């Protein structure tokens, strides 16, 4: 039971965040678009957990990213109070809460990709793994930017603009992808060794 304590706690936090965010969100359509990936991702992880459990690092990064998304979905990113406070306190040009989300959009897919590559392919730690993981994280970010663009065109224009969260920034998509790439690089440099230790522990536990 002890082995399941950490993922269960993380799942409870994510579920609580989703339930809170779904209560009277600013825009129900935007909320659904924002949190749908979280719902799909968490369901997929839970469904495969017995055969493919993830490391604590991956689990808690997914939980943190999910909560960030849930908060953004509840308010819309341009209106998140914490970002509004920072905008006023530091005299920023916009609400930068979404930048935190896009940084983690690089961090979390990078760790998940690293874990899948090390456990499911012959690829080992080194420069090639670092480059492939960063490339995957950047590709995920680019795919999300394309999804946002498509949504803004295909769905209700007002909801699409809120989903984009560009706040009038011409270079918003480029900033988002740059931050995701930065997050992917940083998490590998800072947490690579910890991730390797947790992967080794996971393999010993499965043996």
pLDDT greater than 50 at residue 138: yes
DSSP 137: H
pLDDT, tens digit (0-9, with 9 covering 90-100), for 147-174: 877 776 666 555 555 555 555 567 788 8
pLDDT greater than 90 at residue 114: yes
Write the CA distances from 196 to 116, 120, 170, 191, integer angstroms: 12, 14, 39, 9
pLDDT at 1: 40
pTM (global) more than 0.75? yes
Q: Are 109 and 140 in contact (CB under 8 A)?
A: yes
- Domains in the chain, number: 1
Q: Is 101 exposed, middle or buried (0-12, 13-18, 19+ CB in 10 A)?
A: buried
Please name which of 165, 182, 184 lies closest in space to residue 173, comparing C-alpha atoms.
165
User: How many other C-beta atoms are found inside a 10 Å radius of the C-beta of residue 50?
Assistant: 7
pLDDT, tens digit (0-9, with 9 covering 90-100), for 28-74: 988 998 899 999 999 999 999 999 999 999 999 999 999 999 999 99
Percentage of the chain exceeding pLDDT 70: 88
Rounded CA-CA distance 61/77 in Å is 20
Rounded CA-CA distance 83/65 in Å is 16
Tokens of 55: 């490391």
Q: Are 96 and 87 in contact (CB under 8 A)?
A: yes
- Can you give the residue range of the structural domain that contains 88? 2-206
pLDDT greater than 80 at residue 17: yes
Tokens of 105: 């959009």
């Amino acid at each position: 039971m002890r082995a399941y304590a950490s993922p269960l706690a993380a799942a409870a936090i994510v579920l609580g965040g989703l339930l809170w965010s779904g209560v009277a969100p600013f825009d129900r359509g935007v909320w659904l678009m924002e949190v749908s990936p979280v719902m799909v991702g968490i369901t997929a992880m839970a469904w495969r957990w017995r055969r493919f459990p993830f490391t604590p690092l991956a689990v808690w990064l997914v939980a943190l990213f999910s909560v960030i998304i849930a908060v953004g979905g509840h308010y819309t990113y341009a209106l998140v109070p914490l970002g509004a406070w920072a905008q006023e306190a530091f005299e920023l040009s916009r609400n930068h809460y979404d930048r935190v989300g896009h940084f983690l959009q690089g961090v979390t897919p990078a760790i998940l990709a690293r874990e899948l590559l090390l456990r499911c392919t012959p690829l080992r730690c080194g420069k090639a793994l670092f480059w492939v993981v960063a490339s995957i994280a950047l590709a995920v970010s680019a795919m999300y930017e394309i999804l946002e663009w498509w949504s803004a065109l295909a769905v209700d224009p007002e909801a699409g603009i809120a989903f984009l969260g560009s706040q009038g920034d011409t270079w918003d998509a480029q900033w988002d992808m740059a931050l995701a790439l930065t997050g992917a690089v940083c998490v590998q440099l800072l947490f690579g060794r910890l991730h390797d230790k947790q992967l080794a522990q996971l393999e010993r536990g499965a043996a």
